[in-house]
Amino acid sequence: MVTSSGVSGRIAVDAMGGDLGPAEVVAAVQLALAEFPDLNPITLVGDTAVLTPLLASAQLANSPRASVFHASEVIAMDDKPLAGIKRKKDSSMVRAIELVKNGEACAIVSCGNTGALMAGGTLKLRPMEGIARPALAAVIPRENGHFILIDAGANPEARPEHLVHNAILGSHYCRVMLGIARPRVGLMTIGTEEGKGNALITETNELLRRVDDIINYAGPIEGFQVFTDHVDVVVCDGFVGNIMLKSWESLVNFFKSMLKEELSANPLRKAGALLSKGAFNSFKERINPERYGGAPLLGLRGTILKAHGSSNRYALKSAIRAAGEVIKADMNHLIEADITRANARLEQPAA
């Protein structure tokens, strides 16, 4: 099948990079193919000697929907990102990226070394026309749903036009992943009084207003609004975004351990916790990172979905599904069109 992207529509899955090993990745592929009959075909990239028997056990040996592409090396979690990409030319990650570069696949799913995946993607896949640097997005639960955080860590020294591009990238990903037709975009800042924020924010805010027919710009937002139902896309640079994302994870872990400690402090509390177990399970499910499995690196010619190193089959299945959605929606072409319109607007002198 040839999609409107002019390529196969295949998803390249790095089968070797995760903490749980290739068996878990194959299990994820098996689950995804079973659950989503329309899912794009998948190429598992990795050691054939390891993957072929796993595919056979998964009843996928002769499936037209899954194939293997051989790669003899693996980039380890503790490999230096750039060195790993440059030295391990026959690694599953590098080969998966090259499949996209050569038009043999449209998207990559990997739970390998994050730094290497970002560096490799950015070096080997060119940015889209009109975009200087890719951005990492994350899907985060909040009141009444989820929001997209972009950039979650790819570009720590953004200029105003990069943030405008982030807004466009995030809006499209929000549409595809969360099904929101006209996502509200907020620019992360501090205070909304005059003179607050910084020079980057002031200039970006002005640029975002110029393109508010392309994106649905809701204005600057403050930290206290992030987890309320206020915007669907939170735009920031990769420095602020990564710090927010990781500190939230740290806070959630702190909360969970505190709650666990308190709930097991005496027999009465333990009994209560047992009775209300369903509540804690639903609670966990609502903030379950497995639901949206991968963080996409957006703005490149080809989509890279980074799943957590410790991803299990369910998280990986979600990431594979996300890759399929992105390809089917022809998201990257729609993004390029909006970027072209926005850049034309940004080049005009200020009114």
Residue 252 touches a copy of itself, criterion: CB under 8 A: yes
Question: Of the candidates 61, 123, 265, 344, which one interacts with a copy of itself according to CB under 8 A?
Answer: 265
Q: How many residues does the chain have?
A: 351
Q: Which of residues 164-193 bind a copy of itself (CB under 8 A)?
A: 188-191, 193
* Calpha distance 294→110 (Å, rounded): 9
Residue 266 touches a copy of itself, criterion: CB under 8 A: yes
Shortest separation between residue 238's beta carbon and a copy of itself, angstroms? 7
Residue 243 touches a copy of itself, criterion: CB under 8 A: yes
Residue 275 touches a copy of itself, criterion: CB under 8 A: yes
Shortest separation between residue 114's beta carbon and a copy of itself, angstroms? 9
Closer to a copy of itself by Cβ: residue 51 or 188? 188
**CB within 8 Å of 321: residues ≥ 6 apart:** 32, 35, 36, 39, 293
* Strand order through the sheet with 135-142: 66-70, 42-46, 11-14, 107-110, 303-307, 294-298, 135-142, 145-150, 233-235, 184-188, 216-221
Buried b (16+ CB within 10 A) or exposed e, 145-163: ebbbbbbbbbbeebebbbb
* Calpha distance 345→167 (Å, rounded): 15
Residue 145 touches a copy of itself, criterion: CB under 8 A: no
Residue 209 touches a copy of itself, criterion: CB under 8 A: no
**Angle, helix 160-178 to helix 199-210, in steps of 10 degrees:** 60
Closer to a copy of itself by Cβ: residue 95 or 308? 308
* Calpha distance 178→30 (Å, rounded): 24
Question: Of the candidates 53, 196, 337, 340, which one interacts with a copy of itself according to CB under 8 A?
Answer: 196
Closer to a copy of itself by Cβ: residue 188 or 319? 188
Question: Please, is 110 exposed, middle or buried when counting C-beta atoms within 10 Å of its C-beta (0-12, 13-18, 19+)?
Answer: buried
Residue 87 touches a copy of itself, criterion: CB under 8 A: no
Residue 123 touches a copy of itself, criterion: CB under 8 A: no
Shortest separation between residue 209's beta carbon and a copy of itself, angstroms? 21
Residue 279 touches a copy of itself, criterion: CB under 8 A: yes
* Calpha distance 119→221 (Å, rounded): 31
Question: Of the candidates 199, 347, 349, 350, which one interacts with a copy of itself according to CB under 8 A?
Answer: 199
Shortest separation between residue 182's beta carbon and a copy of itself, angstroms? 23
Residue 76 touches a copy of itself, criterion: CB under 8 A: no
Number of residues in contact with a copy of itself, rule: CB under 8 A?
66
3-class SS of residue 211: coil
Q: Which two tokens stand for residue 339?
A: 């970027």
Question: Of the candidates 56, 61, 132, 251, which one interacts with a copy of itself according to CB under 8 A?
Answer: 251
Question: Of the candidates 35, 90, 129, 143, which one interacts with a copy of itself according to CB under 8 A?
Answer: 143
Q: Which two tokens stand for residue 146?
A: 């989820």
Pairing of strands 66-70, 42-46: parallel
* 280 to 299: interface string for a copy of itself, x by CB under 8 A: x-xx--xx------------
**CB within 8 Å of 80: residues ≥ 6 apart:** 115
Q: What are the helix (H) ranges across 212-312?
A: 238-263, 267-275, 277-286
Shortest separation between residue 281's beta carbon and a copy of itself, angstroms? 9
Binding part of the chain for a copy of itself, among 151-159, 177-185, 205-213, 299-307 by CB under 8 A, reads 151-159
Buried b (16+ CB within 10 A) or exposed e, 176-204: bbbebeebbbbbbbeeeeeeebeebbeeb
For the chain, the maximum distance between any two Cα atoms, rounded to a whole number of angstroms, is: 69
Question: Of the candidates 90, 182, 246, 310, which one interacts with a copy of itself according to CB under 8 A?
Answer: 246
Q: Which residues bind a copy of itself (CB under 8 A)?
A: 80-81, 115, 142-143, 153, 156-157, 188-191, 193, 196-199, 222-228, 236, 238-240, 242-255, 257-259, 262-263, 265-266, 268-280, 282-283, 286-287
